[in-house]
A and B are shown apart, each in its own frame.
Chain A
Amino acid sequence: MATQTPPAPAPPRPAPHAGGLGTPRYRRPFGAGREVTIHWLTFLVTAALVLAPVIPVLYQSIRNQPLYAAGGAFTLSNYVHLFTEADFGSIILDTLLFAVLTTVFALAVAVPMAVLLERTRFPAARLFGQVLRWPIYISPLVLAFGWIVVYGPAGFLTSAVREGLGWVPWNLYTLPGMAFVEAVAQVPVAFLFCANALAASDTSLENAARSVGAGPIRTLRSIVVPMLRPPMLYAGLLIFGTAVETLSIPLILGEPAGLTLFSSFLYEQGIDSVSPDYGLLGAASTFMLLTTIGLVAVQARLLGHAQRFVSVRGKASRSRLLDIGGWKWLGFAFVGVYVVFGALLPMAALILRAFTSLLTPLVNPFDLLTLDNFRLIFAYAPYTESIVNSITVAFIGAVAVTLLGTAVVLVARRSDFRFARLLETAAQSPHAVPGLIVGIGFFWAFAWMPGGDAVRGTLLALIIAFGVRALPSAYGAISPATMQLGAELDQAARVAGADWWRTVSRILIRLLVPAMLASFLLIWTQMIREYAPAMFLAGAESQVIGTTAIDLWTQGETGSVAALATLQIAVTALVAGLAGLLLKRKHDA
């Protein structure tokens, strides 16, 4: 009888039905599913990494002493000092002008090229399309060196033109000159945005215009170009933001001409100055941070979240291309001149410069061939070390950032974590933090934190700082891949008895491997070029290629800089090639 049975302790779940296998059992740390631990861990690590460089900057800007020194007090004098300093107004104006010119130049070059290559019958369109993307893999710093070698005051073409004409119509060491070089570095960005938008757009719109009587040129003018407004706007804002924060060109081209921009101001205040005014540096950094955050917020608002990261898609069928007749050759000349003189010649000259003792139109460069430039690098341990450091940092960093990025994507997109949206925003936010400020911020963070001294000046510090900078790219590379995996795949696993972590490890991660490899490659190429945070963070033993190149440049060792840049390009190309093969094989299998 039921009343006589002693009350048994209630089992957590009734026994499986007769003949059934029941449900799998999982451990529940802290009384909740183990996914809760994983979600929170991912969230806290991401939040800590993202906030670590920002909070010290903000805090320092309102302290009257270095933040690690005892006895500091609250003050607003740093801001007063910043805005009353006589130069600051002109620094802001120059930076603004530089950024506007860069954006205008880059769009003026990229948009016509995107339309010509993507939408018209164009000779060798595929080849040009590929070549135009190259500068993405080359650091703007390297590009700047290449431009100086060709177009600088003693540059190859400058000398040739001066010989011929008696004067030179250009000067790189001016704001428009700097903006043009920066624009060359940014053209691929604008080109990719516009070309992708065109490839994804519906050609039937053009066909409709043709059918109502519009000629090819008219169709381009009235239909194709107006449709490019959103990608132009977005690319424009992106380029503007990059121009505001970039350090390489203001440092290499601006400083010698006495032109100080925002980033070079920070550099002067923080590194060049004998006794840095940390409060001023903090206030200036905060100001710059607010500017870049504002720009990113405008971008986000304008284009919404989904288009934040436009992935590089395959081309749609190019079946219906417009034939613009004779105009094609004008376009061909335009694209050809740009590709040859803007991208190829500076790179070729830089590489040639690496193997010669001098590069001048007066002497046949092949008479001056030498390996001395490389010898200098390999003879001096810190220089050689910087190459090894860059490779190490980029490799470990790319693995770590890809793993963290994957975790963030999975938690943000494929879990019921309460702060999923916040996590997503956090992972994308370093996008708004200039590299120099990441460097300053972590420098202070390590000085401030107990035990931070052990990290400061090591490669670990660089991996962390470069990694934070790269996190949005990893997120952007992996997140679209999850959108292609139907939610039913996880739901099927969950219902079949897998908890969140099993679903992730058995199903989702396996399906994300190609995206993770792509992310690794992207981060690797980004990190091997990265140097801005290292300007503050790197110690004597942890220099990277970029910082060494700037160091050599200031010593006037142009040849060795060229050699170093050549090595960087070679390593990047090698890994990109290997990864390309690997991805291809994976894809074919």
Chain B
Amino acid sequence: MPELAVENITKSFHGTTVLEDIDFTVADGEFFTLLGPSGCGKSTTLSCVAGLEHPDSGTIRVGDEVFFDGLPRTAVPPEGRNLGLVFQSYALWPHMTIADNLALPLKLRKVAKAEQRRLIDDALTKVDMAHLRDRYPHQLSGGQQQRVALARGIVYSPGVLLLDEPLSNLDAKMRGQARMWLKDLQREVGITTVYVTHDQIEAMSLSDRIAVFMHGRLQQVGTPVEVYETPATPEVAGFIGRCNLLDGRIDEESPADAKTLRVELGTTGRHLRVVRTDTAPAPGEAATVGLRSERITLTDRTDAEGDHADVNVLRARIEQCSYTGARFEYVLTIGDLRVHAESAVRHTGPEISLVIRPEDCLLYPRAT
């Protein structure tokens, strides 16, 4: 199967830009996720790929086959794209049995009756729903409908499978199971898949690569590890995982030492040593430090804070501590900065030490 290429698509709606210069390529057989908060443009992008909406400009193609081109204007209608699409609401046709739901795309493709039956059985078996083939959609549970919707999306072997938040109508427990099962199915079928979700856990656990959307822009495309470990922007860092974003300024007298930089945190007078990156701001410039809450080590030791050879130690006040079962979550203050942290142990405070490794700090320039 050829690759899906979305090239520089832009779309605005009533004067508001909803997609700005979106550009990515999905490789053959890849599980590719569009991740972002609601209203970020991920679903619009998926609709544009499906042909349900059209961008204002840009190109969408699968291999050599151009689905959409802004100039000269080409727009293949959805029925001409041979894609599979699974909706959040499942969108099973309520007046047809499960088997008929799967049969319609085959009938439209003039597949012989016997072959239809074979393909339907095959697809329903893949999702463990063959025994319910003669039921109507309203007789199925949400999880079952979701499987049928998926079977309908793959029964005619479409070129690309598009999934629009297919798990978000399931309850939390079912979602976990469905996730694993979906991953297995995708691997088994080997179909190129574009998956839309706002759930970062789904995105991380399912995807080969993730495209992070925000405010109609593509922030970063990368593997789950890349997106989590080296988020391209503070927004990405803030969206994926729990990340403290601390405003600061690169110390003027930051040692010219190539490995680390000193950042003065806000107006607290404290400093944080962070690993220098290629995009790091110059000394004296404003910066944002991203600090994942689970990478902060909390300790009751009252060692002097300040520069240590390889770690930062900061004193903080415990403002709030909540028990979530697996761990304790803390709201701490360092001067006027608020920091979220977590620990497996209960610390009573009122003061506590934070141990932060320079390599766990993400450094971004900050516009002032």
Binding site for B on A (CB under 8 A): 13-14, 16-17, 19-24, 26, 33, 486, 488-489, 491-499, 502, 506-507, 510-511
Q: Say yes or no: is B93 at the interface (Cβ < 8 Å to chain A).
A: yes
Question: Is residue B63 within 8 Å, beta carbon to beta carbon, of the partner chain?
Answer: yes
- CB–CB B52/A24 < 8 A: no
Give the chain A neighbours of B229 by CB distance below 8 A: none
B95 touching A511, Cβ below 8 Å: yes
Question: B82 contacts A492, CB within 8 Å?
Answer: no
Q: How far is the CB of A323 from chain B (nearest CB, A)?
A: 39
Chosen A-B contacts, 5 in total, with CB atoms closer than 8 Å, are A24-B109, A489-B91, A495-B52, A495-B78, A498-B79
How far, in whole Å, are A511 and B138 apart by their CA atoms in the complex? 14
Which of these, B82, B87, B94, B108, contacts A502 with CB under 8 Å?
B108
Chain B contacts of A23 at CB under 8 A?
A: 79-82, 109
B94 — which chain A residues lie within 8 A by C-beta? Answer: 489, 511
Contact B81 A17 (CB under 8 A): no
B27-60, CB < 8 A from A: 50-52
A518 to chain B, nearest CB (A): 17
C-alpha gap A492/B84 in the complex (Å): 9
Which chain A residues lie closer than 8 Å to B91 at the CB level?
Answer: 486, 488-489, 491-492
Q: Given the complex, which residues of B lie within 8 Å of A488, measured CB to CB?
A: 87, 89, 91
Instruction: List 5 additional contacts besides A17-B2, A496-B156, A497-B156; criterion CB under 8 Å.
Output: A23-B79, A489-B93, A491-B85, A495-B81, A498-B104
A495 and B78 CA atoms in complex are apart in Å by 5
Interface string of B1-34 (1 = CB under 8 A from A): 1100000000000000000000000000000000
Contact A498 B83 (CB under 8 A): no
Residues of A within 8 A of B50 (CB): 491, 495
Closest to B78 in A: A494
For residue A497, which residues in chain B have a CB less than 8 angstroms away from its CB? Answer: 79, 82, 105, 108-109, 156
Tell me the complex Cα distance, A219–B178, Å: 51
B104 CB contact (under 8 Å) in A17, A22, A506: A506
Given the complex of chains A and B, what is the CA–CA distance between A21 and B104 in angstroms? 13
**Chain A: minimal CB distance from B48 (Å):** 13
Docked complex Cα distance between A488 and B93 (Å):
10
**A13 and B80 within 8 A (CB):** yes
* B64 / chain A contacts, CB cutoff of 8 Å: 14
Number of interface residues of B (CB under 8 A): 37
| Nearest neighbor of B164 in chain A, beta-carbon distance | A488
Residues of chain B at the chain A interface (Cβ within 8 Å):
1-2, 50-52, 63-65, 77-85, 87, 89, 91-95, 104-106, 108-111, 152, 156-159, 162
Across-interface contacts of B85 in A (CB, < 8 A)? 491-492, 495-496
Give A23 to B65 CA distance when docked, in angstroms: 13
Could you tell me the distance between the alpha carbons of A493 and B79 in the complex, rounded to whole angstroms?
8
Return the contact of B79 from the options A16, A19, A486, A495 (Cβ within 8 A): A495
Closest B residue to A494 by CB, please name it.
Answer: B78
Given that A488-B89, A492-B93, A495-B85 are contacting pairs, would A14 and B79 also be in contact in the complex, using a CB cutoff of 8 Å? no
Most buried by B among A13, A24, A489, A511: A24
Which secondary structure dominates chain B's binding surface?
loop
Residue of B77, B87, B104, B152 touching A33 (CB-CB under 8 A): B77
Chain B residues closer than 8 Å to A16, beta-carbon distance: 82
* Inter-chain contact A499/B79, CB cutoff 8 Å: yes
- Residue numbers in A under 8 Å from B81 (CB-CB): 23, 495
* B92: chain A residues within 8 A (beta carbon): 492
**Bound state CA distance, A494 and B84, in angstroms?**
10
Interface pair B104/A496, CB less than 8 Å apart:
yes
Q: How far apart are the CA atoms of A21 and B63 in the complex, in Å?
A: 17
* Contact of A492 with B87 in the complex, beta carbons under 8 Å: yes
Residues of B close to A495: CB separation below 8 A: 50-52, 78-79, 81, 83-85, 162
Task: Assess whether A507 is in contact with B158, with CB atoms less than 8 Å apart.
Answer: no
The answer to whether A14 and B157 touch (CB under 8 A), given A21-B111, A499-B79, is no
Given the known interface contacts A13-B80, A499-B79, A506-B104, the answer about A486 and B89 at a Cβ–Cβ threshold of 8 Å is yes
What is the bound-complex CA distance between A14 and B82, given in angstroms? 12
A residues within 8 A CB of B84? 495-496
CB distance from A332 to the nearest CB of B (A): 43
Question: A498 CA to B82 CA in the complex, in Å?
Answer: 10
Cα distance A486–B137 when bound, in Å? 15
> Nearest Cβ in chain A — how far from B90, in angstroms?
8
Minimum C-beta distance from A483 to chain B (A): 15
Chain B residue with the shortest CB-CB distance to A486? B89
On whether the beta carbons of B105 and A20 are closer than 8 Å, the reply is: no
Once bound together, how far apart are the Cα atoms of A498 and B50, in whole Å?
Answer: 13
Least Cβ distance of B280 to chain A in Å? 46
In the bound complex, CA of A556 to CA of B22 (Å): 80
Q: Looking at the complex, which one of A26, A489, A491, A499 makes contact with B52 (CB distance below 8 Å)?
A: A491
Residues of B near A493 (CB, < 8 A) are: 93, 104
Q: Complex: how many Å from CA A498 to CA B106?
A: 10
Find out whether the CB atom of B108 lies under 8 angstroms from the CB atom of A17: no
Supposing A33-B77, A496-B104 touch, asked if A20 and B87 sit within 8 A by C-beta, the answer is no
In angstroms, Cα B92 to Cα A33, docked, is 25
CB A7 to nearest CB in B, in angstroms, measures 15
Q: Distance in Å from the Cβ of B149 to the closest Cβ of chain A?
A: 8
Contacts of A26 in B (CB 8 A): 79
Q: Which residues of A contact B93 (CB under 8 A)?
A: 489, 492-493, 507, 511
**Chain B residues positioned under 8 Å from A510 (CB to CB):** 95
**A22 to chain B: which residues have CB within 8 Å?**
82, 109
Distance A48 CA – B1 CA, assembled complex (angstroms): 50
> Most B CB atoms within 10 A — which of A495, A497, A506?
A495
Task: Give min CB distance, A28 to chain B, whole Å.
Answer: 11
User: Taking each of A20, A21, A496, A498, which has the highest tally of chain B beta carbons within 10 Å of its own beta carbon?
Assistant: A496
Say yes or no: B79 contacts A24, CB within 8 Å: yes
**Closest chain A CB from B172 CB (angstroms):** 23
> Measured between C-beta atoms, what is the minimum distance from A326 to chain B in Å?
48
**Nearest-CB residue, chain A, relative to B158:** A20
> What 10 pairs across the A-B complex have the smallest Cβ distances?
A488-B91, A494-B78, A496-B105, A495-B85, A492-B91, A497-B108, A24-B108, A23-B82, A488-B87, A20-B157
- The verdict on A21 contacting B156 (CB below 8 Å), with A13-B80, A492-B93, A499-B77 known, is yes
A486 CA to B152 CA, complexed, in Å: 18
Instruction: Please measure, in the bound complex, the distance between the C-alpha atom of A112 and the C-alpha atom of B91, giving whole angstroms.
Output: 44
- Residues of chain B within 8 A (CB-CB) of A13 are 65, 80
Chain B residues with CB below 8 A from A486, complex form: 89, 91
Question: Which of chain A's residues have a CB closer than 8 A to the CB of B157?
Answer: 17, 19-21
Q: What is the CA–CA distance of A22 and B111 in the complex, to the nearest angstrom?
A: 11
B158 CB, min distance to chain A CBs, angstroms: 7
A23 vs B52: C-alpha distance when bound (angstroms): 16
User: Closest CB of chain A to B112's CB: distance in Å?
Assistant: 11
- State how many angstroms separate the Cβ of A45 from the closest Cβ of chain B: 24
- Contact (Cβ within 8 A) B77 A494: yes
Contact assessment for A17 and B95 in the assembled complex, using a CB-CB cutoff below 8 Å: no
Give the residue of B51, B89, B110 whose beta carbon is less than 8 angstroms from that of A24. Answer: B110
Once the chains are docked, how many angstroms separate the CA of A470 from the CA of B79?
35
Chain A: CB-nearest residue to B54: A416
**Among B1, B87, B152: residue with most chain A CB under 10 A:** B87
User: How far does the alpha carbon of A497 sit from the alpha carbon of B77 in the complex, in Å?
Assistant: 9
**Which of B2, B84, B152, B157 is the most central at the interface, judged by chain A CB atoms within 10 Å of its CB?**
B157
Q: Which residues of B contact A33 (CB under 8 A)?
A: 77
Task: Kindly provide the distance from the CB of A366 to the nearest chain B CB, expressed in whole angstroms.
Answer: 54
Q: Quick one: closest A residue to B1, CB to CB?
A: A17
* Smallest beta-carbon distance A342→chain B, Å: 44
Name the residue on A nearest B47 (C-beta). Answer: A491
In this complex, the member of B65, B79, B152 whose beta carbon has the largest number of chain A beta carbons within 10 angstroms is B79
Closest A residue by C-beta to B85: A495
Cross-interface CB contact of A20 among B78, B79, B152, B159, cutoff 8 Å: B159
